[in-house]
Every structure is written in structure tokens, then in C-alpha cells.
């Protein structure tokens, strides 16, 4: 499915000439009867008249809405909406468990950047399919809300495991880093920068494998050598070139990977301060202090990922992830086994069932799930901004199409049947943070947009998906 919100035709775009004969209509004048009276045709008793309705237009699509999902638990909540665990109560996948991200249009539309980030996340979730990236199953909207139905990742956040363990052994960190690297490599190959890598945005599935979530800060259409200037991300993991607004590209994700690796192996990101200004100062000018207990390969990889000069940073060249994958820290990794999910996860979530929510914060899961009513309705012109939001995953459509469909009609002709800003608002200020966790994680700072260092703090939605 091509552009969801925008369909653009660029100069030089080619059109596939290898068309099926079914798409070609030959106009043979000798076979066309110019004396045919149209009124006679319309008055004929042989015509079948059909009333157009939602039931017979685009009948091949599965039409979904809030009514098709039963609310089970709340998994997270924030300024833009909520994340629910839901059960599908209709259709071929009836009984399946999903995560439902609900966003209020009125909150998003107030800010142009928020609207752009919402569109970007929606487009990216549809376009990107990868073993280590969360799957979008459905998307739909009502007059006042947007709904994203994603696979339910019952393993919870990597943040939870890191917070519980304090630090990871290098073998454990190597496992998670290898899966994350392949996910980032896939995004980069699609011209997408992730820009918000941190333990809260890394979820685990039921087997313990990684899934990247929250694509609200991603930047699309970034080619080799091009840069963008948006000031966004979680400061402790932000690359220097984002902070200085000097223009950044895909290499910012490799800086964040280095900060994440340091966090896994030491229990803290490499540069932290009592407030945002001090943290930024340390990122730009502070000395990198590596614990002596790290192995030489781990120390070397962290140093090379946390190079302030982008051109010197590992992964900044055209080879991108390949440079990192070839580092000695990963010498025992078989990358084909990684992508095939053959490596044994270091932590296998202890789950009682497919709908188990034990890995999520009881502050949310113990609350009665209610999708609150919309207080205001957008105008027709405002709603046009979200035109094309609806989506059904190809896997769902394939399952539908696998079943034969019987059509009774007089005409022998065959019809054609057609199918977080949502920015990641996870403020880490003591007041904004809503979970009880380690001292450091209560003080992370998340910013988006604005040219002012004192960007407005944004409330944390909690686990699963941050808006």
C-alpha cells in the first residue's frame, strides 16, 4: 500500500511496462456500434440495479473500528491518549490479543510537528516489516480519535529487565545489541532515522526477542549524505550533532546505540547531569569514563560509537551497520542466526498466558480500562488531515482471501475487489515520570522540536508505547 497520507509522483518516476494482458483494452473501431442508444441500454430489463453501500463497495476489505475490540487492560497513559490491551471480537482473527494505541485528534492537531510525527509513525509502521520491529495490524479512526492496533508484546520493556538487574553481562548485552543493530540497519536501508533509541522503546516478545517500538520521532526520506535539523529525542541518548543543531543523519542512531550499550553494562548512560543543561554540557564536552571491568572489545566499541566527530564514528560511513557488525565485540555472533531468531534470549518472560500483563506496571494494569469519550469534534477540513489513515495488515488480508467468496450476480463480468506529536512523550523529569524506578531513570529528559533548550516538558505515558 503506497503513501498513506500523501501520494507523490516525482519527475523520473518510472511506470512498470510489464503489465498483464488483463490490463490492456484494445479499441477496435469496427467492433464499436456507434448507433447504440444509451437510453435503450439503461431501460433494459436485463440490467441488474445495485444500491451502493458500505457492504458492497470495496467488499474485499475488512472494515474495523473500536467496536471490534474488547478492552482488557490499560498498559499506558499520557497526554495524547492511552494504550490498551485488547481482544478482537470479530473477523478471522477473533480472539487474538493486540495492543491498541488511542490518540486524540484534537491534541495532535494543535501542533504542526505533532501532526507530522503522527503521519510519519503511521506510514513507517505500515511500510516497515522486520523480525525486530513491532507489527502494525490495523489502523482506523473515528471523528475524534486515531487508533493503531499493534501486535501485543507480552514481554514488556527492556527497561524493566535492566532496572531489575542493575547491569547486564556482556553476553546479554551482545544479544540485545545484535538484534537492535539489525532493526536499525533495516530502517536506515529504508531511508529512516529512528532517533529515540532507549530501553523504554525496546520491548520483548513472549520468547524474549527484541522489538523496537514508538516511531513518532523517526525521520523519513534520509538518503546518504543528507541531514535534518529537528531537535528531538531523549537527551541522555541524543548525539552531539542533534544538540548543536548542526544537522544530523543516520549516525545519530549509532551514537544512541553506544549510549545504550554503556547503560546496559554500567547501569547508567555515559553522560548524565542534575538537569538538562548539565547533561547537554557533558555530552558536548565531558570525558568518557569507561569502567575497568569492561573487556577491551567492549571498551573499544563504546569509544568508537561515542565519537563526537560524526565522520570518525563507527557506522557513519556508507557501510552503515556493517562496520559495527564486523567489530570484534560481535566476533562470535552469526548474523544469519540473529535475523532467523535462532539465538537463545538471555531472559525468557515468565508468562501464564498469551494475554499475561505481569510484565507491565500494575499502576496501569490494575485500572479499569475505559476509552474515554471525545470532548470535541474536529471540523470536516481538519479531519481531512488524517485522510487515508485506515489500514489492514497484508497478513490479515491474505487470510481473508484464502477463503473462497461466492458472489451471486446476473452479470458474467468479474468485478475488482479492493484494501507518538505522536512523538514519544517520555519526560524523565521527577515530576513528569509516573513510574517508580531507579534514581537515574526518574531524571531522563525528553524533548521535541523547538529551538529553545527549555522545551516544554512532556508527560510520560508509561510502559509499552510512549506518545
Per-residue pLDDT at 204 exceeds 90: yes
284 is in an annotated binding site: no
Is 417 annotated to bind a ligand? Reply is no
Quick one: pLDDT band at residue 22, thresholds 50, 70, 90? very low
pLDDT, residue 122, reads 81
Q: Which segment, 31-45, 182-196, 394-408, is predicted with the most confidence on average?
A: 182-196
Of 369, 347, 349, 368, the closest CA to residue 359 belongs to 349
- 196 included as an active-site residue: yes
Which DSSP category does 430 fall into?
A: T
Q: Are 120 and 421 in contact (CB under 8 A)?
A: no
Q: How many CB atoms lie within 10 A of CB 360?
A: 24
Tell me the β-bridge partners of 149. 100, 138
Determine whether the annotation assigns residue 82 to a binding site.
Answer: yes
pLDDT band, very low/low/confident/very high, at 36 (cuts 50, 70, 90): low
Nearest alpha carbon to residue 207 among 403, 350, 396, 110: 350
Across 181-290, where does the E strand assignment appear? 202-204, 210-212, 232-234
Q: Which of 152-156, 253-257, 438-442 has the highest mean pLDDT?
A: 253-257
Domain ranges of the chain: 66-152+369-401, 157-349
Q: Is the sign of the CA dihedral 33, 37, 43, 49 positive or negative?
A: positive
Indicate the burial class of 139 (C-beta count within 10 angstroms; 0-12, 13-18, 19 or more): buried
What are the strands, taking DSSP E only, across 142-255?
A: 145-151, 156-157, 202-204, 210-212, 232-234
Contact 422, 466 (CB under 8 A): no
> What is the rounded average pLDDT for all residues in the chain?
75
Confidence category of residue 383, pLDDT binned at 50, 70, 90 = low
Known binding residue 317? Answer is no
Task: For residue 83, give the nearest of 158, 149, 155 by alpha carbon.
Answer: 149
CATH for the 66-152+369-401 domain, from 3.40.50.300, 3.90.1150.10, 3.20.20.80, 3.30.200.20: 3.30.200.20
The response to whether 247 counts as a known ligand-binding position is: no
Contacts for 132 with CB less than 8 Å, ≥ 6 apart: 179, 180, 182, 183, 186, 209, 210, 211, 212
Provide the pLDDT for residue 35. Answer: 55
pLDDT in tens, 241-279: 999 999 999 999 999 999 999 999 999 999 999 999 999
Give the tens place of pLDDT for each residue, 336-359.
Answer: 999 999 999 999 988 888 899 988
Residue 32 has pLDDT above 70, yes or no: no
Q: Is 62 annotated as a binding residue?
A: no
Q: Which of the four pLDDT bands, split at 50, 70 and 90, describes residue 44? A: low
User: What's the confidence (pLDDT) of residue 407?
Assistant: 36
Task: Establish whether 79 is an annotated binding residue.
Answer: yes
Mean pLDDT of 135-161: 90
pLDDT at 15 exceeding the cut of 60:
no
Is residue 75 within 8 A of residue 84, CB to CB? The reply is yes
Residue 73: its pLDDT value, please? 92
C-alpha 145/C-alpha 346 separation (Å) is 39
Q: Nearest-CA neighbor of 73 among 268, 356, 282?
A: 356
Q: Count other C-beta atoms under 10 Å from residue 9's C-beta.
A: 7
391 known member of a binding site: no
Q: What is the DSSP string of 77-107?
A: E-SSEEEEEEEE-SSTTTT-EEEEEEEEHHH
User: Is residue 45 very low, low, confident or very high in pLDDT (cuts 50, 70, 90)?
Assistant: low
Catalytic residue, chosen from 93, 114, 196, 320, is 196
pLDDT band of residue 47 (cuts 50, 70, 90) is low
Residue 63 counted as an annotated binding residue: no
pLDDT by residue (tens digit) across 49-107?
A: 555 444 444 444 567 889 999 999 999 876 667 899 999 999 888 999 999 998 888 77
Q: Please give the share of the chain, as a percent, with pLDDT higher than 70.
A: 66
The reported pLDDT for the residue numbered 206 is 92
Per-residue pLDDT of 319-333, as tens digits, reads 999 999 999 999 999
7-11, 62-66, 195-199: lowest mean pLDDT where?
7-11
pLDDT average, residue stretch 362-377? 75
Unique residue bearing C-alpha cell 504542526: 112
CA dihedral 225, 229, 231, 237 (to 10 degrees): 10
The secondary structure of residue 110, as a DSSP letter, is T
Centroid of chain to Cα 24: 39
Write b or e for each residue in 277-287: b if 16 or more Cβ atoms lie within 10 A of its Cβ, otherwise e. eebbebbeeee
What is the separation, in whole angstroms, between the first and last Cα of the chain?
Answer: 25
Say if residue 219 carries a ligand binding annotation: no
* Residues pairing with 446 in the sheet: 234
**Residue 68 DSSP one-character state:** G
CATH architecture of 157-349: Orthogonal Bundle (1.10)
Q: Do 364 and 370 touch, CB atoms closer than 8 A?
A: no
- Greater confidence (371 vs 6) lies with 371
pLDDT digits (tens, 9 = 90+) for 403-439: 444 333 333 333 322 323 333 333 333 332 222 334 4
Q: What is the pLDDT of residues 110-128, one digit of tens each?
A: 777 777 777 778 888 888 8
Query: Measured at the alpha carbon of residue 300, what is the angle toward residues 294 and 303, in degrees to the nearest 5?
Result: 105
Amino acid at each position: 500500500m503506497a503513501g498513506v497520507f500523501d501520494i507523490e509522483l516525482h519527475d523520473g518516476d518510472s511506470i512498470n511496462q510489464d503489465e498483464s494482458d488483463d490490463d490492456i483494452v484494445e479499441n477496435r473501431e469496427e467492433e464499436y456500434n456507434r448507433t447504440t442508444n444509451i437510453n435503450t441500454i439503461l431501460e433494459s430489463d436485463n440490467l441488474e440495479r445495485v444500491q451502493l453501500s458500505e457492504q458492497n463497495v470495496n467488499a474485499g476489505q475488512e472494515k474495523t473500528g473500536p467496536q471490534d475490540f474488547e478492552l482488557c487492560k490499560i498498559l499506558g497513559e499520557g497526554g495524547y491518549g492511552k494504550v490498551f490491551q485488547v481482544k478482537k471480537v470479530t473477523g478471522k482473527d477473533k480472539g487474538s490479543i493486540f495492543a491498541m494505541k488511542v490518540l486524540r485528534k484534537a491534541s495532535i492537531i494543535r501542533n504542526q510537528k505533532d501532526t507530522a510525527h503522527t503521519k510519519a509513525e503511521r506510514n513507517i509502521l505500515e511500510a516497515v516489516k522486520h523480525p525486530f520491529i513491532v507489527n502494525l495490524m490495523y489502523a482506523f479512526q473515528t471523528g475524534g480519535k486515531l487508533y493503531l492496533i499493534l501486535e501485543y508484546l507480552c514481554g514488556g520493556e527492556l527497561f524493566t529487565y535492566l532496572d531489575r538487574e542493575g547491569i547486564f553481562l556482556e553476553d546479554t548485552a551482545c544479544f540485545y545489541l545484535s538484534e537492535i543493530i539489525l532493526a536499525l540497519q533495516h530502517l536506515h536501508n529504508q531511508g529512516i532515522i529512528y532517533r529515540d533509541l532507549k530501553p523504554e522503546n525496546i520491548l520483548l516478545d513472549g520468547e524474549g526477542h527484541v522489538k523496537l517500538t514508538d516511531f513518532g520521532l523517526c525521520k523519513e526520506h534520509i538518503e546518504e549524505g543528507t541531514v535534518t535539523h529537528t531537535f528531538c529525542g531523549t537527551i541522555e541518548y541524543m548525539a552531539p550533532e542533534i544538540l548543536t543543531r548542526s544537522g544530523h543523519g543516520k549516525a545519530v542512531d549509532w551514537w544512541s546505540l553506544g549510549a545504550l550499550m554503556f547503560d546496559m553494562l554500567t547501569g547508567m548512560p555515559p553522560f548524565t547531569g542534575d538537569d538538562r543543561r548539565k547533561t547537554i554540557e557533558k555530552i558536548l564536552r565531558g570525558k568518557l569514563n569507561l569502567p575497568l571491568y569492561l573487556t577491551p572489545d567492549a571498551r573499544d566499541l563504546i569509544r568508537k560509537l561515542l565519537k563526537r566527530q560524526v565522520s570518525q564514528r563507527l557506522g557513519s560511513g556508507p557501510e552503515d551497520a556493517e562496520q559495527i557488525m564486523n567489530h570484534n565485540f560481535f566476533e562470535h555472533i552469526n548474523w544469519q542466526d540473529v535475523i532467523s531468531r535462532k539465538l537463545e534470549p538471555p531472559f525468557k518472560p515468565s508468562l501464564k498466558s498469551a494475554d499475561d500483563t505481569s510484565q507491565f506496571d500494575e499502576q496501569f494494569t490494575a485500572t479499569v480500562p475505559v476509552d474515554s469519550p471525545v470532548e470535541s469534534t474536529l471540523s470536516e477540513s481538519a479531519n481531512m488531515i488524517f485522510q487515508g489513515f485506515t489500514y489492514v495488515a497484508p497478513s490479515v488480508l491474505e487470510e481473508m482471501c484464502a477463503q473462497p467468496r461466492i458472489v451471486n450476480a446476473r452479470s458474467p463480468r468479474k468485478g475488482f475487489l479492493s484494501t507518538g506529536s505522536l512523538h514519544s512523550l517520555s519526560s524523565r523529569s521527577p515530576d513528569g515520570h509516573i513510574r517508580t524506578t531507579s534514581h537515574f531513570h526518574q531524571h531522563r529528559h525528553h524533548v521535541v522540536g523547538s529551538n529553545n533548550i527549555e522545551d516544554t516538558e512532556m508527560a510520560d505515558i508509561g510502559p509499552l508505547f510512549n506518545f
